Homo-oligomer: A and B are copies of this chain.
Amino acid sequence: MIIVLKPQQNQEQIDSFVQKLTSRYDVTVNTWVGTHSTVLGLLGDTTAIDDEYIAAQDVVEAVRRVQEPYKKANRKFHPEDSVITLPGGQTIGGGRLALIAGPCSVESEEQICGVAEAVKESGAAFLRGGAFKPRTSPYAFQGMKSEGLELLSKAKKKTGLPIVTEIMSIEHLPLFDDVDVIQVGARNMQNFELLKRLGRLDKPILLKRGLANTVEELLMSAEYIMAEGNQQVILCERGIRTYETMTRNTLDISAVPVIKRLSHLPVIVDPSHASGVSWLIEPLAIAAAAIGADGLIIEVHNDPPHALCDGAQSITPAQFDSLAKRVTQVYDMVQAL
Q: Are B43 and A311 in contact (CB under 8 A)?
A: no
A299 to chain B, nearest CB (A): 11
Closest approach, in angstroms, between the C-beta of A278 and any C-beta of chain B? 8
- Selected from B137, B140, B246, B254, the residue in CB contact (under 8 A) with A214 is B246
Residue on B nearest A244 in the bound complex, by CB: B214
Which residues, 183 to 210 on A, are CB-close (under 8 Å) to B? 187-188, 190-194, 196, 210
Q: In the complex, what distance in Å separates the CA atom of A32 from the CA atom of B314? A: 29
| Contact indicator B56/A312 (Cβ below 8 Å) | yes
Judge whether A258 and B280 touch: CB under 8 Å.
yes
Main secondary structure of the interface of A (DSSP, over half): mixed
Report how many copies the assembly holds.
4
* A274-B254 contact in complex given A137-B69, A138-B224, A243-B212, C-beta closer than 8 Å: yes
Q: Which of A113-121, A146-154, A326-334 contacts B (4 or more CB under 8 A)?
A: A326-334
- Say yes or no for A50: interface residue by CB 8 A criterion: yes
Say whether, besides A52-B309, A241-B212, A290-B286, A39 and B32 are in contact (CB < 8 Å): yes
* Contact (Cβ within 8 A) B66 A62: yes
User: Are A240 and B251 in contact, with the CB atoms below 8 A?
Assistant: no
Q: Establish whether residues A32 and B32, one from each chain, have CB atoms under 8 Å apart when the complex forms.
A: yes
Binary per-residue interface labels of chain A (255-284) against chain B in the complex, 1 for a CB within 8 Å, 0 otherwise: 111100100000000000011000110011
CB of A252 within 8 Å of the partner chain: yes
- A215–B247 Cα distance when bound, in Å, is 10
Flag if B240 contacts A254 (CB, 8 Å). no
Q: Complex: how many Å from CA A213 to CA B241?
A: 9
Q: In the bound complex, do residue A47 and residue B286 qualify as a contact, i.e. CB atoms below 8 Å apart? A: no
CB contacts (< 8 Å) of A334 on chain B: these are 286, 290, 326, 330
Complex interface: chain B residues within 8 A of A137 (CB): 47, 50, 69-70, 220, 223
Measured CB to CB, the closest approach of chain B to A184, in angstroms, equals 11
**Neighbouring B residues of A292 by C-beta, 8 Å:** 283
Count of interface residues, chain A, beta-carbon cutoff 8 Å: 110
**Contact A193 B171, CB 8 Å, known A227-B139, A250-B250:** yes
Check B190–A253 contact: CB distance below 8 A: no
Residues of B within 8 Å of A37, CB to CB, are 66
Q: Please give me the residue from chain B that is nearest to A226 by CB atom.
A: B138
The answer to whether B192 and A135 have CB atoms under 8 Å apart is: yes
13 A-B contacts (beta carbon < 8 Å): A2-B39, A57-B305, A136-B220, A187-B192, A188-B191, A240-B243, A242-B250, A246-B254, A247-B254, A256-B283, A257-B283, A287-B290, A330-B337
Chain A residues with CB under 8 Å of chain B are 2, 4, 28, 30, 32, 34-37, 39, 41, 43, 47-48, 50, 52-53, 55-58, 61-62, 64, 66, 69-70, 132, 134-142, 168-172, 187-188, 190-194, 196, 210-217, 220, 223-224, 227-228, 240-247, 250-258, 261, 274-275, 279-280, 283-284, 286-292, 304-305, 307-314, 326, 329-330, 333-334, 337
10 extra A-B contacts, CB within 8 A, seeds A56-B314, A138-B228, A283-B292 = A39-B41, A52-B311, A57-B305, A136-B190, A138-B227, A214-B245, A216-B246, A240-B243, A250-B250, A290-B291
